[in-house]
A and B are shown apart, each in its own frame.
Chain A
Amino acid sequence: DTGVSQNPRHKITKRGQNVTFRCDPISEHNRLYWYRQTLGQGPEFLTYFQNEAQLEKSRLLSDRFSAERPKGSFSTLEIQRTEQGDSAMYLCASSLAHKLIGLGAYEQYFGPGTRLTVT
């Protein structure tokens, strides 16, 4: 399977613990995105990387959240001191942004998500 993969698929943690999620994008894709989705809502943008550079962070990404993409390959999203409000599905997506493709034209490919439950 050459799609976007995410691990773990499910995570249950106690309030105050730290958690880390991993995303492996499609190998040739230079852009990687993190979104968060709560029940009944569409996904909300958190942050994105162009290669290894983190270029944008949403205001939703508090200082308890940190994301990295070392060497422009896989990415990790860490949440420190989890709170019950962090319970959500965390989605990763990747895309190939190329100057020959219209800026609004390229699609994003999503992984299956990591469902986080904070008790």
Chain B
Amino acid sequence: DAKTTQPNSMESNEEEPVHLPCNHSTISGTDYIHWYRQLPSQGPEYVIHGLTSNVNNRMASLAIAEDRKSSTLILHRATLRDAAVYYCILRDGSGGSNYKLTFGKGTLLTVNP
């Protein structure tokens, strides 16, 4: 899987929006952009994914740059429960090793009350 780069940590205040960036300059045309998060003492949890267009779901929004070399996960109103490590992962949609997730170190998000 292509490599992603994320900040080690970010901080936010409760009820404010959070923008978590991810750079993936070597992304290929068939790579999907996935986001997972891991709350303390839990397994990772799927958040959202996209290919080219921006995506919204009940948890978050995913904004994908036009050249697809970067993306941003947007939490519209952070809550204390959103404090977690957020992982940005590329998955090859053409086959190959797409069956597995290749995690980096992710971004540790701290939410202040």
Q: A interface vs B, CB < 8 Å?
A: 4, 31, 33, 35, 40-45, 48, 55-56, 91, 93, 97, 102-105, 107-113
Contacts and interface: CB of A to CB of B under 8 A. Distances in A.
Interface of B: 30-32, 34, 41-46, 49, 51, 85, 87, 91-95, 97-106
**Residue of B94, B97, B98 ringed by the most chain A CB atoms within 10 A:** B98
Given A33-B100, A43-B101, A43-B103, A104 B46 contact: no
27 contacts: A35-B101, A42-B87, A42-B105, A42-B106, A43-B101, A43-B103, A45-B100, A45-B101, A48-B99, A48-B100, A55-B99, A93-B44, A97-B99, A102-B93, A103-B98, A104-B31, A104-B32, A105-B32, A105-B49, A105-B91, A107-B34, A107-B46, A108-B101, A110-B43, A112-B42, A112-B43, A113-B42
B105 A56 contact: no
Given A33-B100, A45-B101, A112-B41, 18 more contacts: A33-B99, A41-B105, A42-B105, A45-B102, A56-B100, A91-B43, A97-B99, A102-B93, A103-B98, A104-B30, A104-B51, A104-B92, A104-B98, A105-B91, A107-B34, A108-B46, A110-B43, A111-B43
Contacts of B34: 107
Contacts, number: 71
A40 B46 CA distance: 19
B44 A91 contact: yes
B42 A31 contact: no
B87 to A, nearest CB: 6
A105 B106 CA distance: 20
Top 3 nearest A-B pairs (CB, nearest first) are A42-B103, A104-B93, A110-B43
Given A42-B104, A91-B44, A105 B99 contact: no
Contacts of B32: 102, 104-105
A57 to B, nearest CB: 11
Contacts of A33: 99-101
Nearest to B30: A104
